[in-house]
Structure 1
Amino acid sequence: MKSRYLLCAFGLSMLSSPAWAADITGVWATGSEGGRVEIYRCGKALCGKLVDARRLRANPDLRDVRNADPKLRQRRLKGLVVLRNFRGGPSEWEGGPVYDPESGDGADSGRLRLLADGKLKVTGCIAIFCRTKTWTRAQ
C-alpha cells in the first residue's frame, strides 16, 4: 500500500516539475492587436505562427503589407511563421529569426524565456539592439 502512495506522489511531483511545466507549445496572446501565436514543434526545434489577431478577424486574407521587403508584402499573415528554430529549455530557448508582423520588423536572433508566473518573454535582437514583449498563455 505504501509503495502505491509513493508512486502516486512521484507521479504528482513529475507533473509539477520545472521540466514538465516548461512545455511552451500551445497558443500565446501577444498582448498587442489581439494577436495569438501558436508555438509548435518543428523537427527538434520550436517555431511559432500567427493564428489570430484583431485585424485578421476583420480581414482573414490580410497580407504582410508592413514588411520592409517589398517582395514579401503579398504573404498572407494568417499562418505566417514568426518564430523559427528555437532550441534549449527547460525555461529558456534561443533561435531565430523572429518577425513582428505588427511593425514589419525582423530580427536575426531571439530568445524565449518562461517566467515563474507562466508568462513568456519574447526577445528579438539585431546586433546589440533588442526588443522584448511579454506574452501570456491564451485561454
Structure 2
Amino acid sequence: MDLPRLDAPKTVALAPPRLEPPVVAPQSEIKQGTTIAQRGDEEPAYSPLGEWESTGAKGTVRIERCGPALCGFVLTEASNRGESVLVNMKPKTHDVWTGSIYSRSSGSTYYGRMTLTASGKLRVEACAIGYFWCSGNDWTRVEEHREQLMTTSRQWSGARS
C-alpha cells in the first residue's frame, strides 16, 4: 500500500500585534499631566527597561512595559522613529525574555530572545526555525536620557503618571 507523501509543517513566527506607535518628544515639550513611560523606583535595577544602543551605534531602542510584557521602540533614525522592533517580550527566566523581533531591513518578524548578561549588556537575538538558529548582538544601556517616550493610555494599561 502506497501512502501519500506529506510535507513537514512550516515554522512561521506570528505577526506582532499592531500597536499605535508612541510619540517621542524633547523634554521641553512634555506638558504637565502627560503620561510618561519610564522606569519607576519599584522596578529592579537588573531589568531590560530603559534605553539601549545597539553595537556600532546603529540605533537606540527604548524598552518599556506594554501590558504584561515588554516592547521596544526605535528612538533614533527619523524615518522609523517610534517603530516597534521588540514585541510582546515575556520573561522566560529571571534574565531571559522571549517574544518577537521585527526586522525593518527584511520586513519580517522573527522569534526573539533578550538576555541580560553578567556584564550588564543586553544580548538581543532574532531566531529562525523556532529557536534552533539565532543571530544577534549585544546592546549597551544608555545612561543619559535626552528624550522621553510618551504613550497614550490606550497603548498600555500599566503606564504611570
Superposition TM-score, scaled by structure 2 size: 0.55
Q: Does 1:132 align with 2:133?
A: no
Deviation at 1:130, TM superposition (A): 1.6
Equivalence for 2:22: none
Deviation at 1:107, TM superposition (A): 3.8
Equivalence for 1:27: 51
Equivalence for 2:75: 51
The residue identity in structure 2 corresponding to 1:34 is: K
Residue by residue over 1:35-84, the C-alpha shift from the partner in whole angstroms, topping out at 9 and shown as x without a partner, is 000000000000001011xxx2xxx2x2xxxxxxxxxxxxxx11000000
Deviation at 1:104, TM superposition (A): 2.9
Q: Residues 73-88 of structure 1: matches in 2 within 5 Å?
A: 77-88=80-91
Superposition TM-score, scaled by structure 1 size: 0.63
SS in 1 for 2:44: helix
The residue identity in structure 2 corresponding to 1:79 is: G
Deviation at 1:122, TM superposition (A): 0.4
Deviation at 1:100, TM superposition (A): 2.8
Q: How far apart, CA to CA, are the structure 2 residues paired with 1:113 and 1:47?
A: 14
The answer on whether the counterparts of 1:22 and 1:90 sit within 8 Å (CA) in structure 2 is no
SS in 1 for 2:55: coil
SS in 2 for 1:20: coil
The residue identity in structure 1 corresponding to 2:140 is: T
Equivalence for 2:117: 115
Q: CA RMSD in A?
A: 2.1
SS in 1 for 2:125: strand
Identity %: 35
Question: Which sections of structure 1, spanning at least 5 residues, go unmatched?
Answer: 1-18, 63-76
Structure 1 stretches of 4+ moved >2 Å: 19-22, 103-108
**Higher relative contact order, chain-length normalized (CA < 8 Å, sep 6+):** 2
